[in-house]
C-alpha cells in the first residue's frame, strides 16, 4: 500500500440557507461551534483509526510505503499553469487555500 495523500474524504455538515436564517444568532453560533468541535474530533478519529489499521495490516505482512510527495507536487505545477490560463486567478486562490489547510492540518 502506498500512502499518497490523494484523498481526504470529509463529511460535510450542510444546512439550507432558509433553515439557517430561521436560527437565532445564538443558535447559529452554537451550531458553528459544535461543527468545528465535531470536525476536529472526526479528523483525530480518522487519523487514529488509520494508524491502528495500518499497524494491524503491517503486523499481518502488508508493506506500507510512505513516499515523499513533494516531487509529485512539483511535477503537477504545469497543470496549474494551464488551469490558470483557463480559469484565471481563482486557481491561485484555491492553491493558497489548499496550502493553508495543509499547514493547519499536518499529515503524518
Most confident of 12-26, 40-54, 88-102: 12-26
pLDDT value at residue 106: 63
CA distances (Å), origin 106, targets 5, 8, 17, 54, 77: 11, 12, 32, 18, 21
pLDDT at 81: 92
* Spatial distance between the Cα atoms of 65 and 1, rounded to a whole number of angstroms: 6
Helices 77-87 and 90-104 pack at an angle, to 10 degrees, of: 140
Q: What is the pLDDT of residue 108?
A: 57
pLDDT of 32 strictly over 90: yes
Task: For 80-91, write each residue's pLDDT tens digit.
Answer: 999 999 999 899
For the chain, the C-alpha Rg in angstroms (whole number) is 19
Percent of the chain with pLDDT over 70: 96
Kindly list the domain boundaries of the chain, sorted by start residue.
Answer: 1-67, 68-108
Rounded Cα gap, residues 48 and 57, in angstroms: 14
Amino acid at each position: 500500500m502506498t500512502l499518497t495523500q490523494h484523498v481526504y474524504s470529509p463529511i460535510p455538515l450542510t444546512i439550507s440557507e432558509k433553515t439557517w436564517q430561521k436560527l437565532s444568532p445564538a443558535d447559529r453560533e452554537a451550531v458553528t461551534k459544535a461543527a468545528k468541535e465535531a470536525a476536529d474530533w472526526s479528523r483525530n478519529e480518522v487519523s487514529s483509526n488509520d494508524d491502528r489499521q495500518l499497524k494491524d495490516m503491517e503486523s499481518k505482512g502488508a508493506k506500507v510505503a510512505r513516499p515523499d510527495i513533494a516531487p509529485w507536487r512539483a511535477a503537477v505545477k504545469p497543470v496549474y499553469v494551464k488551469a490558470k490560463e483557463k480559469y484565471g486567478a481563482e486557481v491561485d486562490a484555491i492553491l493558497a487555500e489548499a496550502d493553508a489547510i495543509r499547514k493547519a492540518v499536518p499529515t503524518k
